[in-house]
């Protein structure tokens, strides 16, 4: 003979049993019987009643915990808040560590180039797009910055100041088509001019070096540095390296493609070179 389906439901059976027990307790404990039989039954039930009272309170607390917020739930909410705060603090700490590493690299540039007087600056604005071809920094005339001063970071030459305010300046990067840098090949000492080529968001951010003689000794991987000619950029700043070599058919000049030493998709802190130590200030 098959057992009825509802008898296989253990939670259902337990609930029914609890309901029956609680009903019996209500019957036994309701009213005050003055008969001997009543007193006898009461005396016999008292110990059992105490146990069931405890049990029924526990059951009541159980259901109360289901339908009402508990201290444990409140603590859980508070713990979640603390975890979220710790995660935020951890993210801020990681950001500070990254910034500290970048500032150490800038300090390394300053220590290696003691002939320069520099002003540290933070990038605070840029043109739309992911290239930093024209951007704004948070220093200006009040910090001794002037137009046409060179801008660098720990990687190499960034560009030059083209506009100055009291506490801000705009910088034109070497990858911008309007930029022109007198440069030379570090190995062979051949001179030329480096121009930016960035004109679309699809651009690779490369530059070109012009005015190299067809017989110029140039090889892929050659380092290109500023020549110091023209008086804007101090001599010896790393501009980039040769990645491609070609000849111009209409002239005897050789043109080479140059990859900038600076990552112009990630730019946060820079240095403005005010002057070379011991030289006459510009402006």
If you write DSSP's letter for every residue of 129-144 in order, what string do you get? SS--SEEEES--GGGT
User: 200 or 58: whose pLDDT is higher?
Assistant: 58
Q: What is the DSSP string of 51-80?
A: HHHHHHHHHHHHHHHHHS--HHHHHHHHHH
Q: Is the pTM of this model over 0.75?
A: no
**Domains in the chain: ranges and CATH:** 5-67 (no CATH), 116-276 (2.40.10.340)
Residue 277: predicted pLDDT: 47
User: How does residue 166 score in pLDDT terms, banded at 50, 70 and 90?
Assistant: very high
Q: Does the structure show a pLDDT above 50 at 41?
A: no
Q: At 246, is the pLDDT very low, low, confident or very high (cuts 50, 70, 90)? A: confident
Least confident of 4-13, 189-198, 218-227: 4-13
Could you please report the per-residue DSSP string of 194-249? EEE---STT----EEEEEEETT----TT-EEEE--TTSSS-TT-EEEEEEEEEE-T
13: number of Cβ within 10 Å: 12
- pLDDT higher at 197 or 50: 197
Residue with tokens 């002239």: 251
Q: Token pair 């948070």 is at which residue?
A: 138
pLDDT of residue 281: 39
CB 157 within 8 A of CB 267: no
Cβ neighbors of 108 (< 8 A, separation 6 or more) are: 154
221, 228, 225, 223: which is closest to 237 by C-alpha? Answer: 225
- Alpha carbons within 13 angstroms on the beta-carbon side of residue 280 total 2
Residue 280's pLDDT is 40
């Amino acid at each position: 003979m098959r057992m009825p389906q509802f008898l296989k439901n253990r939670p259902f059976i337990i609930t029914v049993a609890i309901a029956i027990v609680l009903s019996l307790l209500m019957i036994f404990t309701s009213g005050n019987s003055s008969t001997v039989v009543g007193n006898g039954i009461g005396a016999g039930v008292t110990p059992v009643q105490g146990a069931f009272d405890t049990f029924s309170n526990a059951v009541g607390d159980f259901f109360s915990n289901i339908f009402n917020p508990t201290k444990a739930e409140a603590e859980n909410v508070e713990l979640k808040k603390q975890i979220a705060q710790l995660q935020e603090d951890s993210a801020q700490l990681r950001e500070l560590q990254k910034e500290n590493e970048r500032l150490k690299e800038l300090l390394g540039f300053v220590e290696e180039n003691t002939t320069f007087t520099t002003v540290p600056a933070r990038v605070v604005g840029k043109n739309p797009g992911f290239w930093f071809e024209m951007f704004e920094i948070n220093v200006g005339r009040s910090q001794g910055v002037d137009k046409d001063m060179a801008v660098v970071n720990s990687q190499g030459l960034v560009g030059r100041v083209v506009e100055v305010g009291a506490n801000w300046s705009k910088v034109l990067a070497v990858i911008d088509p309007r930029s022109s840098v007198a440069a030379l090949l570090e190995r062979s000492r051949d001179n030329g001019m480096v121009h930016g080529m960035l004109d679309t968001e699809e651009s690779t951010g490369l530059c070109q070096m012009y005015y190299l003689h067809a017989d110029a000794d140039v090889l892929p991987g050659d380092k290109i540095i500023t020549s110091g000619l023209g008086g804007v950029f101090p001599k010896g700043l790393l501009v980039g390296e040769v990645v491609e070599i070609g000849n111009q058919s209409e002239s005897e000049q050789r043109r080479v493609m140059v990859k900038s030493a600076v990552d112009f998709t990630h730019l946060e802190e820079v240095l403005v070179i005010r002057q070379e130590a011991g030289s006459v200030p510009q402006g």
